[in-house]
């Protein structure tokens, strides 16, 4: 039997041991249904007259659709309807548009071109699954096969095939400005200069399919009162409902989604594709329609954990202290964004791992390739880079001739340390984990390591402060494809500096959520002020300040300004370059996790006047009309 050991000697005074449930065995509340086979999964809801929908999919990685001929399929026995791209009322979406992050980039059914193998171009609804399969085989698509790109760095090259028309440069746009997410903390070049060893390595992860035993599927049926019921195994019920409402331009009040039980998901059931397809089928036929992936579809088009490539460069002192760490990361998003853009925000907030390193820089790219779109899977955004970091730690230990556990304890973050994303570390426990693991494994560690504690020494001196930080503006959207930027690593030379600031002074808690629950720019993330408790007012955008001179090595034509629109509240930090000692109010080098990094524009001054009833999902500046939990009045 699995046994859990509770180490109540550790952090005893931080814990309340009067808890009634935590730490005690319990029986799952849904287990009786599982062992009797009575748990109702979506497909256990039986409908008379159920129709079956199947998709026609691309056999190519990248191809233009010259024509789609469904005439023969429409005449096949049992076929009720062929669903084409034009049948989707609002046929372009990105999942995170529900929280106002990213541009719509993915059709539900693709009418112009396909960008990955298995991309759906139309669907057949028939009386039986076999009839639907036969009709799918009878659909004729005239493909113009296009060159494809399957490697993240090849996709960044100026001549690479352009995968996703919404992001023609093959990179997601961060902050409407850069082709990557930046993290800058201190001065890594200065750190490398102080180091006795430089350790560089590259790590590559493959995509991983979640492979739930129950494949993704949904059954939708017309309900009374002009509504549609949808039984689905989604892991994100209201996300799926909002996405369906948007794609089908249906009021969310007309959608009755029933979920709650998934036969395994692991992140693979959040992409909200089967739900809008099934509901669309029910809308078009007036009958119950099931749309479910078969096993090969689950493996081929079910979005996996995306592949990642990381290059890590560490500067290490002879004593094992890591003084600088630089990351260059590439997330293979596949053909569309789905959740990869967000995975990077999450991953960059996690860097440089659970270690106190005074100088950190990262450039992380969300790259579009002609592979299956990637999505969520168990800690996505974190697990890949954590693997890389820990293998790197072993390499560092080898380079300096140190016990790898001693090296980790030496560099481990402690309570009070300032992390690279400018939050103070608390409840840290890496040191204690290392000590216990070493003990369990019979691995000898030094007396200093044995005596170390997460509670002692953290935040002392420079450990607790935000250092003066070197910034740059390399990697503007489009510059790489135009050949003006080739290096993907963080710039060697900074073009600006942000003054040092201390945690207690510079970080101010976000104001509480406003009463009407509207997401507002001024309550997202944190602000750096000039004094304790000061929250500076929002700064007006500076649309066209002069671009600071680049170092000669990377000098190139200045990108057209029209292509870059800083969001409101965003100020380019070094225009003109700021003297090092003057605090700059709005640093742009770190996204404010966990909130979305592109705050929607604040509501305009004019009073809001809806032109459609609330429930139809109104357009309002800066607010997603489909956002669950946002009250719109």
Partner 1 sequence: MAKVPVRFTLNDAEVALFVDPGANLLDVLRRGAGDLTPKHGCGQGTCGACTVRIGGEVHLACLTLAEAAEGQRIETTGGLANGAELHPLQRAFMDGFAAQCGFCTAGMLMAAKTLLDRSPNPSRDEVAEAISGNLCRCTGYEPIIDAILTAAAQMQGRAVG
Partner 2 sequence: MQTVETHPTLAGAAAAMRERSRYIAGGTLVMRAMNYGATGIETLLRSGDAALREIRHDSGGIRIGAGVTMAEVIASRELDFLAPVARVIGGPAIRNMATVGGNLFAAHPYGDFTVALLALDAQVIWADGHREGIEPFLAGRSGTRGLVAAVQVPRPATGEFRFHKVSRVKPKGVSVMSIAGWLPMAAGRVGAARLAFGAMGPTPLRAKAAEAALRGVTLDADGIAPAVRVAAEGLAPADDALASAWYRREVAPVHLKRLLLAERRV
Binding residues for partner 1, rule: CB under 8 A, are 1-2, 27-28, 30-41, 43-44, 46, 210-215, 261-266, 294-295
Q: Does 344 bind partner 2 (CB under 8 A)?
A: no
Which residues fall within 8 angstroms of residue 225, CB to CB, at 6 or more apart? none
Q: How far is the CB of 155 from partner 2 (least distance, A)?
A: 23
* Min separation Cβ 129 and partner 1, Å: 9
278 binds partner 2 (CB under 8 A): no
Residue 52 or 480: which CB sits closer to partner 2?
52
137 binds, among partner 2, partner 1, none (CB under 5 to 8 A by kind): partner 2
- Smallest distance from partner 1 to CB 134, Å: 13
Residue 130 binds to partner 2 (criterion: CB under 8 A): yes
Residue nearer to partner 1 on the CB measure, 169 or 210 = 210
Question: Binding partner of residue 38 among partner 2, partner 1, none, CB under 5 to 8 Å per kind?
Answer: partner 1
Closest approach of partner 1 to the CB of residue 208, in Å: 12
Residues 6+ apart with CB under 8 A from 612: 618
d(CA 296, CA 290): 17
Shortest separation between residue 142's beta carbon and partner 2, angstroms: 22
User: Is 129 a binder of partner 2 (CB under 8 A)?
Assistant: yes
Query: Tokens 């800058």 identify what position?
Result: 184
Q: Is 95 helix (H, G, I), strand (E, B) or coil?
A: helix
Q: What minimum distance in Å lies between the beta carbon of 137 and partner 2?
A: 7
* Cβ at position 130, least distance to partner 2 in Å: 6
Rg, Å, the chain Cα set: 26
Please give the Cα distance from 146 to 160 (Å, whole number): 11
Contact partner at residue 1 from partner 2, partner 1, none, CB < 5 to 8 Å by partner kind: partner 1
- Among positions 7-36, residues that touch partner 2 (CB under 8 A) are none
Q: Which does 214 bind (CB under 5 to 8 A by kind): partner 2, partner 1, none?
A: partner 1
Q: Which stretch binds partner 2 (CB under 8 A): 133-141, 314-322, 500-508, 540-548?
A: 133-141
For residue 522, give the DSSP letter.
G
- Asked if residue 227 binds partner 2 (CB under 8 A), the reply is no
Contact call for residues 184 and 313 (beta carbons, < 8 A) = no
Buried residues in 166-189 as b, exposed as e (16+ CB within 10 A) = bbebbbbbbbebbbbbbbbbbbbb
Query: Which residue in the set 63, 98, 109, 134 belongs to the binding site for partner 2 (CB under 8 A)?
Result: 134
| Residue 145 engages partner 2 in binding (rule: CB under 8 A) | no
CA-nearest of 122, 212, 465, 174 to 343 is 174
Q: Smallest gap, in angstroms, from Cβ of residue 100 to partner 1?
A: 32
Rounded Cα gap, residues 325 and 227, in angstroms: 55
Cβ closer to partner 2: 296 or 610?
296
Residue among 52 and 180 whose Cβ is closer to partner 2: 52
Is residue 549 within the footprint of partner 2 (CB under 8 A)? no
Q: Which listed option, partner 1, partner 2, none, makes contact with residue 467 (CB within 5 to 8 Å by class)?
A: none
**Number of residues counted as binding partner 2 (CB under 8 A):** 8
Among 22, 32, 137, 456, binds partner 2 (CB under 8 A): 137
- Residue 316's nearest CA partner among 397, 249, 205 is 397
Q: Is residue 187 a contact partner of residue 467, using CB atoms and an 8 Å limit?
A: yes
* Exposure class string for 470-493: b at 16+ Cβ within 10 A, else e: bbbbbbbbbbbbeebbeebebbee
Coil, strand, or helix at residue 462?
helix
What are the helix (H) ranges across 442-541?
447-451, 503-506
Q: Residue 308's beta-bridge partner residues?
A: 205, 331
Strand order in the sheet with 79-83: 79-83, 120-126, 51-57, 289-292, 217-223, 227-232, 255-258
Query: Residue from 294, 390, 448, 516 that binds partner 2 (CB under 8 A)?
Result: 294
Other CB atoms within 10 Å distance of the CB of residue 443: 13
Closest CA to 585 of 539, 524, 520: 539
Find which of partner 2, partner 1, none residue 134 binds, CB within 5 to 8 Å per kind: partner 2
Partner from partner 1, partner 2, none contacting 19, C-beta within 5 to 8 A by type? none
**Residue 191 token pair:** 């750190």
* Span interacting with partner 2, options 41-49, 126-134, 158-166, 335-343, rule CB under 8 A: 126-134
149 touches 169 (CB < 8 A) = no
Question: Least distance from C-beta 283 to partner 1, angstroms?
Answer: 24
Note the residues at the interface with partner 2 (CB under 8 A).
Answer: 129-130, 133-134, 137, 294, 296, 299
């Amino acid at each position: 039997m699995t046994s859990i050991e509770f180490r109540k000697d550790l952090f005893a005074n931080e814990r309340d041991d009067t808890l009634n449930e935590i730490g005690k065995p319990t029986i799952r509340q849904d287990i009786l249904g599982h062992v009797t086979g009575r748990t109702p999964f979506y497909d256990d809801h039986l409908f008379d007259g159920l129709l079956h929908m199947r998709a026609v999919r691309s056999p190519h990685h990248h191809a233009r659709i010259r024509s789609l001929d469904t005439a023969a399929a429409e005449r096949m026995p049992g076929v009720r309807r062929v669903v084409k791209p034009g049948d989707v009322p609002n046929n372009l979406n990105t999942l995170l548009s529900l929280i106002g992050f990213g541009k719509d980039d993915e059709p539900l059914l693709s009418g112009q071109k396909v960008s990955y193998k298995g991309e759906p171009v139309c669907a057949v609804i028939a009386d039986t699954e076999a009839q639907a399969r036969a009709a799918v085989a009878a659909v004729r698509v005239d493909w113009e096969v296009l060159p494809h790109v399957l490697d993240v760095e090849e996709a960044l090259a100026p001549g690479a095939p352009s995968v996703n028309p919404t992001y023609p440069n093959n990179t997601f746009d961060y902050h409407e400005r850069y082709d990557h997410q930046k993290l800058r903390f201190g001065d890594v070049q200065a750190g490398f200069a102080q180091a006795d060893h430089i350790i560089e390595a590259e790590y590559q992860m493959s995509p991983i399919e979640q492979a739930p035993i129950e494949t993704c599927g949904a059954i939708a049926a017309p309900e009374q009162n002009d509504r549609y019921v949808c039984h689905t195994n989604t892991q994100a019920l209201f996300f799926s409902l909002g996405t369906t409402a948007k794609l089908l331009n249906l009021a969310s009040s007309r959608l009755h989604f029933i979920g709650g039980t998934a036969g395994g998901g692991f992140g693979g059931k959040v992409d909200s594709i089967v739900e809008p397809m099934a509901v669309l089928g029910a809308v078009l036929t007036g009958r119950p329609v099931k749309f479910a992936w078969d096993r090969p579809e689950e493996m081929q088009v079910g979005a996996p954990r995306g592949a990642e490539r990381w290059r890590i460069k560490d500067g290490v002192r002879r004593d094992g202290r890591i003084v600088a760490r630089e990351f260059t990361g590439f997330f293979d998003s596949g053909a569309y964004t789905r959740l990869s853009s967000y995975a990077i925000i999450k991953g960059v907030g996690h860097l440089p791992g659970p270690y106190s390193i005074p100088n950190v820089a990262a450039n992380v790219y969300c790259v579009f390739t002609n592979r299956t779109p990637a999505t969520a899977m168990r800690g996505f955004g974190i697990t890949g880079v954590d693997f890389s970091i820990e293998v790197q730690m072993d390499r560092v230990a080898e380079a300096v001739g140190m016990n790898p556990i001693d090296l980790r304890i030496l560099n481990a973050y402690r309570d009070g340390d300032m992390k690279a994303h400018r939050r103070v570390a608390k409840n840290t426990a890496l040191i204690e984990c290392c000590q216990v693991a070493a003990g369990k494994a019979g691995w000898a560690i030094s007396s200093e390591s044995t005596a170390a504690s997460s509670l002692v020494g953290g935040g002392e001196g420079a450990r607790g402060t935000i250092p003066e930080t070197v910034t740059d503006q390399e990697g503007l959207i489009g510059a790489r494809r135009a050949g003006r930027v080739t290096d993907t690593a963080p710039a060697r030379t900074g073009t600006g500096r942000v003054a040092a600031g201390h945690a207690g002074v510079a970080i101010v808690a976000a104001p509480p959520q406003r009463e009407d629950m509207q997401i507002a720019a001024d309550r997202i993330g944190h602000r750096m002020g000039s004094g304790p408790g000061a929250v500076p007012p929002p700064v007006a955008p500076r649309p066209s300040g002069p671009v600071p001179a680049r170092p000669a090595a990377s000098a190139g034509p200045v990108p057209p300004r029209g292509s870059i629109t800083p969001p409101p509240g965003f100020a380019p930090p070094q225009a003109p370059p700021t003297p090092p000692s003057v605090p700059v109010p709005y640093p742009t080098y770190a996204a404010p996790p966990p909130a979305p990094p592109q705050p929607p524009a604040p509501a305009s001054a004019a009073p809001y006047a809806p032109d459609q009833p609330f429930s139809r999902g109104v357009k309002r500046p800066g607010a997603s009309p489909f956002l669950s939990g946002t009250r719109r009045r």
